[in-house]
Amino acid sequence: MKTQHSVLALLMLATMGQARADSATIDVTGKVLPGTCTMANVPVALDGIDAVDLGTGGEHGLKPAVLSFTGCVGVTSVELTFDGTADATQDGHWQNLSTGGATGVAVALLDGTTGNVFLKKGATKAVTINGAATGRLDMRTGYYRKAGTLLKAGDVSSQITVTADYK
């Protein structure tokens, strides 16, 4: 009997050695997408301007404005796109939307603290986010009157939508 048990045990051990093993690989892929920033509305109240001081052919009464980005997570830059109602008679500057307001005048939006680069409908602008997870776009805004336009005094208001694409 012992021999039968020994033979049976040897057969079982031999069969165990012949069992096949398989392996598999788990391939994991992904992508960390940029987060977002906090971007606040930018209210700008232009100072009133006398009609006689609103000369033709340029921007007047410029005031600084800053579009700030804070709390940026995983963002190295922001691409901005500007949208709103362009004024076809005022070289594409922003239309005065004030009902019954001034005519012959539009709103100018300029890039930076100096210079003459206008941010009009469809314009894009890249802003770099610094190591402190913040960024800013300095701008100036004011009145714009094209040469040859008839001017009527009244209120001026415009609304410009800025869309941010985080990179």
- pLDDT, one tens digit per residue, over 7-22 is 555 555 555 556 688 9
Tell which CATH architecture fits domain 47-166: Sandwich (2.60)
pLDDT tens sequence across 59-93:
899 999 999 999 999 999 999 999 999 999 999 99
36-47 burial, b if ≥16 CB within 10 A, otherwise e? Answer: ebebeeeebebe
**Could you read off the pLDDT of 100-153 as tens digits, one per residue?**
999 999 999 999 999 999 999 999 999 999 988 999 999 999 999 998 889 999
* pTM assigned to the model: 0.81
Taking alpha carbons only, the member of 150, 128, 162, 143 closest to residue 42 is 162
CB-count exposure of residue 13 (10 Å: 0-12, 13-18, 19+): exposed
